[in-house]
């Protein structure tokens, strides 16, 4: 039976607080529960959403039959078990990126989704909501850039302290590629309308040297798309630079370059001809912007912006980059979602 409204919950109230705002604002969604094992944070956020039940026990929310949708915004190493529990209880899941840490976990989530059949799953690949990038995608779709033959994106984190001093660096396993590169992998494939089939990556850990963080904090990968375009994905957590998503998109008719003040669209090779200035908002997003569309999709009103295959495919590229950076060889992307 299709639903006319949803009862939703949020687990983890960092970025999850933004998700809660978005759910509470949806006319056909009721925020019924919030959860954080940090009692101080829980109490602060609970005061903003007095009609939602508050709990420190994630399991109480993930297994509650009165909840239809859970948004999982806990630490990365909790995403897999929490997603599996929610799916086991037939819930729709919106899980923060990276939705899992390992390929074997992605396979298990895929199998659980297929076994359950009903639940939908999406993830917060929020750059798709940035007006700067939706504008670019519209221009690409209209043919303004001609045929796209090369795309480059860099996730410049600009918050090294959060990696080295916060929970990320304390996890048993953390990958900056999974945590940040996934946004760029998704963005490039969404813009190109094509999938990355092969990657070749290198990495280092110079910026965070001596911190005890056990993985690369800087990774760069060249990539090849199925249709022949080339690209580059950079994940730079050490940069002395504010948080920024560099993007350059090269077509046969024009070149787009994102900048910190505005973007530029070059339609000529003549150095005397000024590029067009594109000043659409960047990033210009609220972290809950993908949720209204996901709620609507669950209610049978269209498809979500970020589908299950988008969630799996973007992380599949990251798994390949991580493997290549450590193994030193090119790696073909293994598209887990495609496999039956």
- Burial class from Cβ neighbours inside 10 Å (0-12, 13-18, 19+) for residue 288 reads buried
Question: Which residues in the 113-132 window bind ligand NAD by CB under 6 A?
Answer: 124, 126
Give the residue carrying structure tokens 């290549």: 324
Query: Which range binds ligand NAD by CB under 6 A, 71-79, 135-143, 236-244, 312-320?
Result: 71-79
The rounded distance, in Å, linking the Cα atoms of 316 and 197 is 10
Q: At what angle do helices 182-192 and 308-327 cross, to 10 degrees?
A: 120
Q: Is the CB of 167 or the CB of 335 nearer to ligand NAD?
A: 167
The single residue among 75, 149, 266, 335 that binds ligand NAD, judged by CB under 6 A, is 75
CB atoms within 10 A of CB 204: 14
Q: Please say whether the dihedral angle defined by the alpha carbons of residues 239, 240, 246 and 248, taken in this order, is positive or negative.
A: negative
Pairing of strands 148-156, 244-251: antiparallel
End-to-end CA distance of the chain: 27
| Closest separation in Å from C-beta 86 to ligand NAD | 12
Which CB atom, from 246 or from 255, has the smaller least distance to ligand NAD?
Answer: 246
322 binding ligand NAD? (CB under 6 A): no
* 96 makes contact with ligand NAD (CB under 6 A): yes
Instruction: Quote the least distance from Cβ 35 to ligand NAD, whole Å.
Output: 5
Residue from the set 7, 28, 30, 41 that interacts with ligand NAD by CB under 6 A:
41
Stretch that binds ligand NAD, among 23-31, 70-78, 218-226, 294-302 (CB under 6 A): 70-78
With binding defined as CB under 6 A, does residue 38 bind ligand NAD? yes
**Least Å from the CB of residue 108 to ligand NAD:** 18
Bridge partners, residue 257, by sequence: 248, 264
Q: Are 132 and 261 in contact (CB under 8 A)?
A: no
**Nearest CB to ligand NAD, comparing residues 15 and 108:** 15
Regarding 18 and contact with ligand NAD (CB under 6 A), the answer is no
Applying CB under 6 A, the span of 33-41, 85-93, 130-138, 239-247 interacting with ligand NAD comes to 33-41
- The DSSP bridge partners found for residue 198 are 224, 332
Is residue 12 within the footprint of ligand NAD (CB under 6 A)? Answer: yes
76 touches ligand NAD by CB under 6 A: yes
> Do 92 and 9 form a contact (C-beta atoms < 8 A)?
no
Q: Copy the structure tokens of residue 58.
A: 């994630």
Closest among 175, 162, 149 to 321, alpha carbons compared: 175
CB of 75 to ligand NAD, least distance (A): 4
- Distances, alpha carbon 177 to alpha carbons 12, 91, 214, 276, 297, in Å: 22, 28, 14, 32, 29
The 163-182 contact track toward ligand NAD, x by CB under 6 A, reads ----x-----------x---
> Does residue 287 belong to the site contacting ligand NAD (CB under 6 A)?
yes
Residue 152 near ligand NAD by CB under 6 A: no
Quick check: 135 binds ligand NAD (CB under 6 A)? no
Contacts for 35 with CB less than 8 Å, ≥ 6 apart: 9, 10, 11, 12, 13, 42, 54, 55, 56, 57, 58, 60, 61
Binding stretches for ligand NAD (CB under 6 A): 11-15, 35-38, 41, 58, 73-76, 78, 96-97, 124, 126, 167, 179, 287
């Amino acid at each position: 039976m299709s639903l006319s409204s949803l009862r939703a919950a949020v687990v983890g109230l960092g970025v999850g607080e933004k998700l809660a705002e978005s759910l509470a604002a949806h006319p056909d969604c009721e925020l019924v529960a919030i959860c954080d094992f940090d009692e101080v944070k829980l109490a602060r956020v609970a005061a903003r959403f007095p009609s939602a039940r508050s709990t420190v026990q994630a399991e109480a929310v993930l297994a509650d039959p009165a909840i239809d949708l859970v948004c999982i915004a806990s630490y990365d190493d909790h995403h897999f078990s929490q997603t599996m529990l929610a799916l086991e209880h037939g819930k729709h899941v919106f899980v923060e990126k990276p939705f899992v840490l390992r390929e074997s976990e992605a396979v298990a989530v895929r199998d659980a989704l297929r076994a359950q059949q009903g639940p939908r799953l999406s993830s917060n690949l929020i750059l798709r909501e940035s007006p700067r990038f939706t504008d670019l995608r519209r221009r690409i779709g209209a043919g303004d850039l001609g045929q796209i033959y090369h795309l480059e994106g860099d996730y410049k984190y600009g918050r090294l302290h959060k990696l080295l001093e916060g929970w990320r660096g304390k996890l048993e396993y953390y990958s900056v590629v999974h945590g940040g590169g996934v946004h760029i992998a998704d963005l490039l494939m969404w813009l190109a309308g094509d999938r990355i089939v092969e990657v070749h990556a290198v990495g280092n850990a110079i910026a965070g040297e001596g911190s005890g963080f056990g993985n690369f904090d800087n990774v760069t990968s060249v990539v090849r798309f199925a249709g022949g375009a080339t690209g580059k994905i950079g994940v730079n957590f050490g940069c002395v630079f504010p948080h920024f998503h560099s993007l350059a998109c090269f077509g046969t008719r024009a070149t787009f370059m994102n900048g910190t003040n505005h973007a530029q669209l070059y339609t000529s090779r003549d150095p005397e001809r000024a590029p067009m200035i594109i000043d659409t908002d960047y990033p210009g997003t609220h972290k809950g912007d993908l949720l209204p569309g996901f709620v609507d999709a669950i209610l049978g009103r269209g498809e979500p912006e970020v589908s299950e295959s988008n969630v799996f495919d973007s992380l599949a590229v990251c798994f390949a980059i991580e493997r290549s950076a450590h193994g030193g060889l090119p790696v073909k992307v293994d598209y887990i979602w495609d496999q039956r």
